[in-house]
Amino acid sequence: MPHDASAKPVRLTRKVSFSAGHRYWLSSKTEAENRKLFGQWASPFNHGHNYVLAVTVEGTVEPSSGMVVNIKIIDDLLKRHVLSKFDQKSLNDEVPEFIDQAPSLENLLLDIKRRITESKELTDSVKLVHLRLDEMPTLYAELDLTKEPMLTITRSYEFAASHRLHSPDLSPEENIRLYGKCNNPAGHGHNYLVDVTVSAPVNAETGMSVDIACLDTVVNEQVVDRYDHKNLSEDLPEFKGRVASSEIVAQEIFNRLKENVPGKLCRVRLTETARNIFEVNAD
C-alpha cells in the first residue's frame, strides 16, 4: 500500500517517574530572607516527592515501522538525560543547576525541556510538543510548546454537593424524558474535583509562577467553601432558574475565578464522575 503523504501527525505520550528531595531555601540568602521569599514553603530541610513526568512528541508515522518513534528511544533519552540526573537525588545539593536556584515545578520542567532538546536525539521528523510534571496528585505543571502561554500550573480541589437537572422551560414530562433519574426532585450528589489552571511569569528568585497559597485562598473562598455540602440547585442564587448542570457549574466557577486568581486563568476542569469531565478554557 502506498504511503499517504497527507496523513495527519500523531502524538505519542510516554510517562516515567522519579523520586527526589528538594527544599525552598537558598544558601546565598539569610534565614530571614529565605522566609520572606518562600513564606510557608521555606525550610532548610528537604522534603520529597514521587514525580510523574509525561513527555509528548509529535510526528508522522514511519510506514515501515508503523511508529512515530520507537518508545525505546524515548525511554533511553529520558533515562540518560533526566532520570539519571534527578532520581533518588537531593536536587538542591546534587544537581548543579539547582544549587543556586529553587527546584520549583516550573524550573524543573524548564530544565527537563532543555535537557531533552539539547540532547538532539529526536529525529527531524519528531518534535517535542508537551511536557507535564506532577509533583503531587493535587499539583502539576505543564509546558505546551505549541501555544502561549506555554507554562501553566494546575491545582486540584474537591467539594461534595448535590444538584437536580430540571429546566423551568420544560414540562414535567419533558424534564423526565430529557434528564431521566437525574430529574429526581430530591436531587443527587457528587464528589466533584476541580482543576484550576493558571499562568504567570516565573519569579527569578522563587522559581514559582504563582503564589500557590494565594491561589488556594481564592479558590477556597470563591468555590470550595461556597459549594461544599450544598444543594447547588436550591442553595445558591447563581443557579436559581437555571439548570445546575455540570456544564453550567463549570462556566460559573470559571467566571467566579477569572478576575480573582493570581496570574491568568487558563482553564477550569470539573470532574463530576470518572466518566463525566467538563472543561472551560480561556481561549
Active site amino acids: 182, 229, 272
Residue with cell 528531595: 21
Q: Which of 95, 114, 113, 112 is nearest to 46 (CA)?
A: 95
Residue 14's region, left for phi above 0, alpha for psi from -120 to 50, else beta, is beta
Which residues have CB under 8 Å from 65's CB, separation 6+?
none
Residue whose C-alpha cell reads 429546566 in the numeric block: 167
Amino acid sitting at position 9: P
CA atoms within 13 A on the CB side of 222: 20
71-78 helix and 105-119 helix, angle to the nearest 10 degrees: 120
DSSP 8-state assignment for residue 45: S
Q: Which H or E run contains 280?
A: strand 276-281
